[in-house]
Amino acid sequence: MSNHEAVWNATAQLLKAQVSEGVWFSTFNDVVAVPSNDDSLHLQVPNAHVHDRIVTRYRPLVIDALDEIGESDRSLVIEITDLVPTSENAAVITDDVAAPAVVTNPNNGKGNAVGLNPRYTFENFVKGASNQFALAAALRVAETPARSYNPLFIYGQAGLGKTHLLQAIGWYVHAHYAHYEVRYVSTETFLNEYVDAIRTNTTAAFKRRYRDVDVLLIDDIQFMEGKEGLQEEFFHTFNSLHGANKQIVISSDRMPDAIPTLEDRLRGRFRWGLITDIQPPDLETRLAILRNKADRDNTPLPADVLEFIATNITSNIRELEGALIRVTAYANLTREPASVAMAEHQLADLLTATAPKHRTDEEMLTEMAGYLGFSVEALKGKSRQRPLVSARQIAMYVFRDMTELSYPAIARLFGGRDHTTVIHAVDKTQRLMREDKATFDQVTGIIGRIKNS
């Protein structure tokens, strides 16, 4: 195998783990590496649409992947060939919410499960008093799609498990109804695909994508607030699915009546089924969540340390798991046995009784830029210099850890990047915190300074 092919194959493996199956097949599957006379990675793509898609949305991911495999010095050259797309829908982009290991899972050549993350199943969901009704409703819907609660509307604060429940429904249906088409999508992705469909005159394909399914799982519906065109399109999608006796499951950070500028006709349709909420977990549930995650990550901690974390971190699951990561990372790096004293020291900024100063997202980014030694413009910009890339990824991780911003919202804050770039940055920083003490100290130091300033 030639060098350019080997480089692209290694790069492609990383990309495939970071984007949804739909994005992979519509954007990267037909890309080939060709020889070049210099040290660039020369890629050929089948058409102008794929070319524009990679250049405008996914170039940072490709560059990050090259950096991961030690080929950061290569420039990236993308040109169009006369290759014929392998299917009639090759130019239709299905930009589902992306995360490592998010897949389109064929079931014996029958129904597909699009956009689902294998980590989010009912088996991995920790039941407690705060979520037992929502869990029971989700199980009923999964067992009898479109025959129990349709739609099922689940609401609650960020980080409490709404996305987990939606995707668990998807996996259950996929396993027990082999011919069903299941699709999970965030509202942000639904919006992006809708805008792309209008721009590329592919609205018919967009409508088919979301109306020719048996179960539609749509996350964070509150982002439809104020978007009249998107609400109109979703209204007709809802009617089409509900009229065809297809299951719809929706999540939001608030109940329908609390979403400003949401059309009354949408609110009315959300009330056709069941509206249920998820509350912050109680102590027993928090402890069970920590044990579950420690077992999954193979990072056991003493019972008294887990109890200390569960007792003191009470706001949401995201912060709870973040505290666990911090303690286990420090223990791994220092080779010290984890103890309550260590946890108390490492989580001091989370345990303070003083609430952190309120900041806008831009103010927090400005403050973080100062700590990292770069300007806000540099963090938002396109430069690929290694120290800046590392700083940008740390900043994205801190936003994910300290705020309730979604991946797409963080991506918009950092210069309008694709949300998969943020997912990659968070995962990479989390991994480095376990492996590199300098990174661990830098990240925890920034979080502590922001919380205490």
Across 214-227, average pLDDT? 88
Share of the chain above pLDDT 90, in %: 15
Greatest CA separation for the chain: 64
Cα angle 329-19-66, degrees, rounded to a multiple of 5 = 70
The pLDDT of residue 127 is above 90: no
Q: What is the DSSP letter of 279?
A: P
pLDDT, tens digit, 9 for 90 and up, residues 16-67: 777 766 677 778 888 888 887 777 888 888 777 788 778 877 888 888 888 7
Mean pLDDT of 417-421: 77
The confidence score (pLDDT) of residue 396 equals 93
The pLDDT score that the predictor gives to residue 138 is 94
Tell me what the mean pLDDT of segment 171-196 comes to. Answer: 88
Q: Are 210 and 183 in contact (CB under 8 A)?
A: yes
Looking at residue 96, its pLDDT comes to: 36
pLDDT tens-digit map of 278-308: 888 888 888 888 888 888 777 888 889 998 9
Instruction: Give 299's contacts (C-beta < 8 A, 6+ positions apart).
Output: 324, 328, 332
For the chain, the C-alpha Rg in angstroms (whole number) is: 22
126 class by beta-carbon count within 10 Å (0-12 exposed, 13-18 middle, 19+ buried): buried
- The reported pLDDT for the residue numbered 379 is 92
**What is the pLDDT, as a whole number, of residue 21?**
67
141-183: per-residue pLDDT in tens? 999 998 889 889 999 888 788 989 999 999 999 988 888 999 9
More confident call, 4 vs 140 = 140
Distance CA(452)–CA(10), nearest Å, equals: 42
Check whether 330 has a pLDDT greater than 60: yes
Lowest-confidence range among 51-55, 110-114, 198-202, 326-330? 110-114
Amino acid at 39: D
Domains of the chain: 1-78 (3.30.300.180), 120-275 (3.40.50.300), 281-352 (1.10.8.60), 359-450 (1.10.1750.10)
Counting residues of the chain whose pLDDT is more than 70, the rounded percentage is: 91
Q: What is the pLDDT of residue 84?
A: 37
pLDDT value of residue 86: 36
pLDDT of residue 337: 87
For 239-274, the pLDDT digits (tens) are: 999 989 999 999 998 888 888 777 788 888 888 889
Six-digit token string for 111: 């129904």
Q: How confident is the model at residue 357 (pLDDT cuts 50, 70, 90)?
A: low
DSSP states along 255-272: -GGGSTT--HHHHHHHTT
Mean residue pLDDT of the chain comes to 81
pLDDT at 87: 37
What is the arithmetic mean of pLDDT over 329-336?
83
Once rounded to an integer, what is the mean pLDDT over residues 61-74? 79
